[in-house]
Chains A and B, each alone.
Chain A
């Protein structure tokens, strides 16, 4: 057992400051354990959002020593012992209280993305046939636990606050999962270009680096989507084809 010191952000959306806490650390503890212990010992109103404590739900996102992390998967033994550990809320979203941020924008933005629309079933019993090989690409995207850490580090959202113009890496991944779904017939490329601001991403890969699920967001999701958008809207032959296609775009596939 050793004592660890913490600087934890306390405050609401308007004002706040770091407060100092210390607590005893036992073998194997993660940052979220320490926060809970502090809650139980000295700060019962310290707000923290969490749920599964197993890296599966993506609720306990915060910035630990400046790094966007899931608190439940960040082990105390991996942090420097000689200095106080700083914990603060995600910066790309408005703080509600202490470590809890208002992430509701992500949910509103997602609702605007065209939903899954499958092709007609392949078999008479109403089912489809897909090869494992063909779904693995999309299964990678569907590992996403919606922790929003990628949104937190995206400079378009974090520094430039362009939430209205750019939907961010998480929702690019969501788009990619739909666009590359073997059964999907929807077309989201126009929305990606116009409403969802795919052009804002300049592929710095910050999102990929922080993803706790190790989804290669930039290379596997965003860049291929960018290529599709370019192919669709800036290739001269496709521009011509699009004029014909638009006539029957509302037909079911």
Chain B
């Protein structure tokens, strides 16, 4: 029998980005014992990379804002496929969650009268994003971390979870290993919260870190939970494209919020050429109107660069495909031009966008206060994830909760910028509260040694295999290449059928992967173990995208270029059946409560 250490908590939180930390803080404050597992060191999770801000209708900059406008913006952005109850809770509770961070030490940028400053962002009608320059995520995760470590939770740094443990239908624990020494751990818990983030590492060009291997999605799927909306993967319109080694690194939407423009090789501001009907009456008629909007003119409408991410990304792809791209297959994003408008533009840019200034200076030798950046779409976020109850965040498996990016429902077909940081605060808090409640109402389950032994065997298998010549890195790279090519921004039936064959083939090759060395901090081994969940999420994305025979939000099919009314009222769910196959269901969108429908109408 394999050796492993036992740990016991009322609530186990897997993932220590914003959602996991917020959940752990909430559960701790409810008086239950909490374990917090992070794949990296504490405070390094992907939240740290969020730049632009956290969306909350504080109405500090424009008093016409309020939760109902935020709600309507979110529903419109999600093309009405969002779970309306989640969108309501999110819009109502985000302001309190942001103010609470200030009570825990966060220092957001200020308005002239000393309140939290808010900036413009794509798809938000009013300036709504509380921010700290362009490093908002760092401020949030550090605030949660520094507050959290004094709340009594136990933190397991550099630990990865490879399987959930079940007692009958219910999740009662998890099995994993510590990355530093490779020791096995069994966590017994009355409730488990998944807060593992996204799946960006399934694609080649991504703004996501190595951690984003779809662990929560995969763990939930294997435990029998339903996944929702997996066809909707957000490609952020502006990632770096040059030099090659930094391709995909994010360039914040805040650049456009501060007045940055998108132009093609002919110098044309192409975003003015294609404005969707849903947004026509909210979008500026002229460059001048757009500029004064970014400078706070309340009568002006927003420039087309601040349309939703799905649309901007597709317009950029169109420009590149039609031969009007920049030298390295991108388009130009120009903030330097504002020197025509502002006397102290150089200082202004450095103060508003310090990280972007440094990022381009250090990695690409470009001074963004003097010249335009080259940018193109990069895999950024998955709207799809674990299907959860809107109020409690519990999945379809008792005892298993999910929050943040690995949960689904809030963002529908497309997420608005700034809504992820607020998502992880609002639903992290809710998951923590209801998981603690679940833990108080339920006894410990029984850990089945057979399940543990099976997980041990699977985890050790790459060491036990004869050297087959299969290298885990090669398989990961190939999966990323093929997903990018076949299930990327522009999709069609043939490509995605091909993708399913490729995934199948790679999955078989992954079964033969062997690794060298020992269990101490062994990247080859870790990469081999990450492959399983990457395959699951890749298959889920491809199958859901095949099923949705229309174009909507982030999901664009060149063989079905238009929206389809029938699909407009359907969400796609996926689960594993008893034979281990992925089953797809079309689920009607829940009919919306009357008062919320009225809010949407008022805000059309």
Name A residues whose Cβ lies closer than 8 Å to a Cβ of B. Answer: 12, 26-30, 33, 39-40, 44-59, 73, 75, 96-98, 100, 102-104, 107, 110-111, 115-116, 118, 121, 126-132, 135, 138-139, 142-146, 178, 181, 183-184
Contacts and interface: CB of A to CB of B under 8 A. Distances in A.
A96 B358 contact: no
B483 interface: no
Given A115-B147, A130-B114, A142-B107, A57 B49 contact: yes
Contacts of B99: 126-127
Nearest to A178: B105
A234 to B, nearest CB: 29
Contacts of B149: 107, 110-111
Contacts of A49: 40-41, 521
Contacts of A51: 40, 44-46, 48, 209-211
B102 interface: yes
Given A50-B210, A54-B49, A115 B520 contact: no
Contacts of B45: 51
Nearest to A35: B523
Contacts of B471: 40, 44
Interface stretch (B183-191, B238-246, B576-584): B238-246
A28 B246 contact: yes
Nearest to B114: A129
Contacts of A128: 102, 114
B471 to A, nearest CB: 7
Interface in B112-130: 113-117
A100 B147 contact: no
B246 A97 contact: no
Contacts of A98: 521
Contacts of A135: 107, 110
Contacts of B138: 56, 142-143, 145
B105 A118 contact: yes
Interface in B467-485: 471-474, 477
A44 B105 contact: no
Nearest to A147: B44
Lowest 5 CB-CB distances: which A-B pairs, in order? A28-B243, A45-B517, A44-B524, A129-B114, A116-B105
Given A28-B246, A138-B107, A143 B48 contact: no
Contacts of A102: 180
Interface in B509-530: 515-518, 520-525, 527
Contact of A47 (B103, B105, B515, B521): B521
A121 B117 CA distance: 18
Interface stretch (B260-268, B309-317, B359-367, B490-498): B359-367
A128 B243 CA distance: 44
9 contacts: A28-B243, A28-B244, A28-B364, A40-B473, A58-B44, A103-B41, A145-B138, A178-B105, A184-B105
A59 B524 contact: no
Interface of B: 40-46, 48-49, 99, 102-105, 107, 109-110, 113-117, 132-133, 135, 137-139, 142, 146-147, 149-150, 157, 180-181, 209-211, 242-246, 249-250, 355, 358-359, 362-364, 471-474, 477, 515-518, 520-525, 527
Nearest to B250: A54
Nearest to B247: A28
Contacts of B521: 47, 49, 96-98, 100
Given A26-B245, A118-B105, 7 more contacts: A51-B48, A53-B209, A75-B363, A107-B42, A130-B110, A142-B142, A181-B107
A1 B473 CA distance: 22
B71 to A, nearest CB: 21
Counting chain B CB atoms within 10 Å of each CB, the highest count among A28, A98, A184 belongs to: A28
Contacts of B48: 51-52, 56-57, 145
Contacts of A144: 142
A131 B114 contact: yes
Given A55-B358, A73-B362, A142-B142, A45 B523 contact: yes
Contact of A59 (B41, B515, B516): B41
Contacts of A107: 41-42, 149, 157
Contacts of A178: 105
Nearest to B142: A142
B169 to A, nearest CB: 35
B113 A129 contact: yes
B49 A45 contact: no
Nearest to B112: A132
A40 B147 contact: no
A55 B362 contact: yes
Given A30-B245, A139-B107, A146 B43 contact: yes
Contacts of B245: 26, 28-30, 33
A131 B244 contact: no
